[in-house]
Amino acid sequence: MTPTQAQKEIQQLTEKIQYHNDLYYQQNKTEISDQEFDMLLKKLEQLEKEFPQFKQPDSPSQRVGGTITKEFATVYHKYPMLSLGNTYSQEELEDWDARVAKGLEGDAYEYMCELKFDGVSMSLTYENGLLVRGVTRGDGVRGDDVTNNIKTIRSIPLKVKGTDIPESFEVRGEVFLPKEIFAQLNKEREDIGEERYANARNTASGTVKMQDSTEVARRKLDCYTYALLGDHANTHSEAIHKLEQWGFHVSKTYQKCKNIQEVLQYINKWDTDRHTLPLETDGVVVKVNSLEHQERLGFTAKSPRWAIAYKYKAQSLSTRLNGVTYQVGRTGAVTPVAELEPIFLAGTTVKRASLHNANQIAQLDLCIGDYVFVEKGGEIIPKVTGVDMEKRTPSVTPIQYITHCPECNTKLIRVEGEAAFYCPNINGCAPQIKGRIEHFIQRRAMDINSLGEQTIRQLYDLGLVKSPADLYKLTREDVLRLDGFKDKSAKNLLEGIEGSKAIPFESVLFAIGIRYVGKTVAEKLARYFKSIDNIAKATPEELLKAPEIGEKIAQSVFQFFGNPENQTEITRLKEAGLQFESTAKEPEKVSDVLNNKSFVISGVFQKYEREQLQDIIVQNGGRVLSSVSGKLDYLLAGDNMGPSKREKAEKLGVKIISEQDFEKLLNGLTS
């Protein structure tokens, strides 16, 4: 492809991707599948890699991340991000309305009502139509510059299109983790043996401050914008309409209200309807609509006089605890579940609720027959929050946490420092076996989409599949024994299994189901060690040298490969033809400026990941070693480097260099 053709293709792909993105977020329509969208994005990324000079400042490729930020710069807000006064009653809201009327001295006024979203406040600055800065609320006066992470959020425009766009303007929004994504994230964490996140709001807050924007992109954050700052409109409603016209994601739940009675009607309507929304809400924000009126009303020391937040009371109902059942997950973790007398809560009938673990049961002092308080919070799944002690009777039965697996009767174990009990019978406990197979075939792992939970259950019950490796032994005759399978569906299933043999190593490593090894960790291990054999023979100390691998993960990986049954399973999967070596190409040579010098990399760096430094060294004619010796040329030292490496380097006379020293070496400024 010639440069001219590439430039034209990049332009066309950029416009096409932006069109489909706008269609999805502004009109709730789709014309192509997620897979087709991702393929367009990958094609654009590849072209931009080959022809970086044609990458546009608003390129959609920024949505996939790739930037590492070790420290977030502090930015002072042009307009302070003030908090709102709160009210919990109709009377207090009417008193506030009276103060507004008094402050406006009899002038007619109206309100704008918007739902108060439970997310992370964000300030977005645009210059010449381009997003140039995303800053957290911080202390209201200054916040953190998280621009690289914010650019991964697909509902935030990288470039504003439309008419009457100011040269510079600021938008306020709420970044959030949709309920569906939060539930999926928790399921994935549970699947690899990690503790679930407590709530979507805190998880969203932690995500925007992640150092790796690629991981932020995977979390699929969203953002509703709710304010346009500056002298760009006469009313708040006019400003909202401008944001909509310019392509911003605005929740359609807002409403203009003529008086406080209409505000109260809005509040009552959304008290129940809000539970149908894709994110958590905890109240309603009421604002005087006229910006001139807002200016006249002014501010108190802490909040504006022209706006107030009405907070909904968390809906918590009491119902009888009829019993506790126990579920066994893929990793063997046993989760207690409350069986409840059905109640109608937050729009749905609730019969079961999470109890998390034995610690919570003990902390709440739960008994069978108790009346318990149940809330339906950010996790979607209801949870028991307390006991109604006034209703406790002498007939209640204290809960005795089970000592043996409810599925295979194996004695449960509890690892010191962990809350959950585990069934150690990993290769003989049915839910664990079926769970591992379900994990193995999922889209982010082996992507065998013609298999599902019910099919796996049938295969297991018929004795056809007892481990993932058994999938590759299935015949047409085996599959035709399954309910609902005919020639075509059997052919599709077998082709899907056969096609999975081409799935790359990092996905296979995730698929085999090592505890604590999620998709990102699997990718780090695969890139660092290059093959399953290298990982299998690595000591815990060697595993710790891989990027972002901590003690817990290193011990889990080491123990997994030390298990003879797991070794047998890996051998069978190898024989089936799966990919157990990385196909990632070595970085292309750029120069010989490092002149075959050897480096050991240790610690955390401001501008680079350790993997990036390894690539840069190799690309520029250097070598990367794993341990300090007398023959080593340089110890490249970052923050929080272990003292033993430094001491050994100093003892052996090895030159210790900083990140800045390394950049000078690259530029040929020192030796």
Helix H, strand E, coil C: the string for 47-61 is HHHHCHHHCCCCCHH
| Cβ-count burial 415-450 (b if 16+ within 10 Å, e if not) | eeeeebbbbebbeebbbbbbbbbbbbbbeebbebeb
Domain boundaries 505-576, CATH class: mainly alpha
Residue 345 to residue 661: CA distance in whole angstroms: 61
∠ CA(603), CA(606), CA(610), 5° rounding? 45
The CATH homologous superfamily for domain 598-666 is BRCT domain (3.40.50.10190)
| pLDDT given for residue 377 in this prediction | 62
Q: In what order do the strands lie in the sheet with 598-602?
A: 623-624, 598-602, 634-637, 655-657
Give the pLDDT confidence of 107-124 residue by residue, as tens digits: 999 999 999 998 999 999
Average pLDDT over residues 35-39: 82
pLDDT at 586 over 80: no
pLDDT number for residue 650: 92
**Could you tell me the sign of the dihedral formed by the alpha carbons of 257, 263, 267, 269, in that order?**
negative
Q: From CA 465, how far away is CA 493, in angstroms rounded?
A: 14
Q: Which of 651, 649, 616, 615 is nearest to 635 (CA)?
A: 649
DSSP states of 546-612:
STT--HHHHHHHHHHHH-HHHHHHHHHHHHHT---B--PPPPPP---TTTT-EEEEESB-SS--HHH
Domain 86-311 sits in CATH at: 3.30.470.30
* Number of residues assigned to the chain: 671
What's the pLDDT score for residue 670?
A: 61
pLDDT at residue number 82 = 86
Helix H, strand E, coil C: the string for 648-660 is HHHHHCCEEECHH
- State how far the Cα of 605 lies from the Cα of 401, in Å rounded to an integer: 47
What local confidence, expressed as pLDDT, does residue 380 receive? 61
Q: Between 659 and 23, whose confidence is greater?
A: 659
Flag whether pLDDT at 662 surpasses 80: yes
| 588 has a pLDDT exceeding 70 | yes
Q: Which amino acid is at 535?
A: I
pLDDT of residue 629: 87
pTM summary value: 0.78
Q: What is the mean pLDDT of residues 291-320?
A: 91
pLDDT above 90: residue 196: no
User: Cβ(173)–Cβ(103) under 8 Å?
Assistant: no
How far apart CA 656 and CA 273 sit, in angstroms, is 62
Q: Is the Cβ–Cβ distance between 187 and 411 less than 8 Å?
A: no
**pLDDT greater at residue 224 or residue 620:** 224
Q: What is the per-residue pLDDT for 654? A: 94
User: Is 201 a residue whose pLDDT tops 70?
Assistant: yes
Assign domain 430-502 to its CATH architecture.
Orthogonal Bundle (1.10)
% of the chain surpassing 70 pLDDT:
98
CATH of domain 325-340+349-398: 2.40.50.140
233-244 tens-digit pLDDT = 999 999 999 999
Taking only the tens place, the pLDDT of each residue in 377-411 is 655 678 899 999 999 999 999 999 999 999 999 99
Residues belonging to the active site: 116
Compare 194 and 440 and report the one with higher pLDDT: 440
Compute the distance between CA of residue 168 and CA of residue 493 in angstroms, rounded to an integer. Answer: 55
pLDDT, position 669: 67
Q: Which of 499, 491, 430 is nearest to 465 (CA)?
A: 430
Question: Would the pLDDT of 267 be above 80?
Answer: yes
Q: What is the pLDDT of residue 447?
A: 94
Write the pLDDT tens digit of every residue in 509-564.
999 999 999 998 999 899 889 999 999 999 999 998 887 788 899 999 999 999 99
- CATH architecture assignment, domain 3-64: Orthogonal Bundle (1.10)
SS3 of the chain: helix, strand, coil, percent, to 5: 40, 20, 40
At 158, is the pLDDT very low, low, confident or very high (cuts 50, 70, 90)?
A: very high
pLDDT of residue 321: 97
Chain-wide mean pLDDT for the chain?
Answer: 91
Could you identify the residue written with the tokens 């916040």?
143
> In the prediction, which pLDDT does 656 show?
95
Relative to beta strand 421-422, strand 255-257 is unpaired
How confident is the model at residue 587, as a pLDDT? 65
Q: How confident is the model at residue 29 (pLDDT cuts 50, 70, 90)?
A: confident
Residue type at 202 in one-letter notation:
N
Distance between CA atoms of residues 601 and 605, nearest Å:
10
Place of tokens 């504006």: 304
Residue range 329-378, pLDDT digits in tens: 999 999 999 999 999 887 788 999 989 889 999 999 999 999 999 987 65
Q: Do domains 325-340+349-398 and 598-666 have the same CATH topology?
A: no
Token pair recorded at residue 640: 């929080």
Pairing of strands 307-311, 86-87: parallel
- Domains in the chain: boundaries: 3-64, 86-311, 325-340+349-398, 430-502, 505-576, 598-666
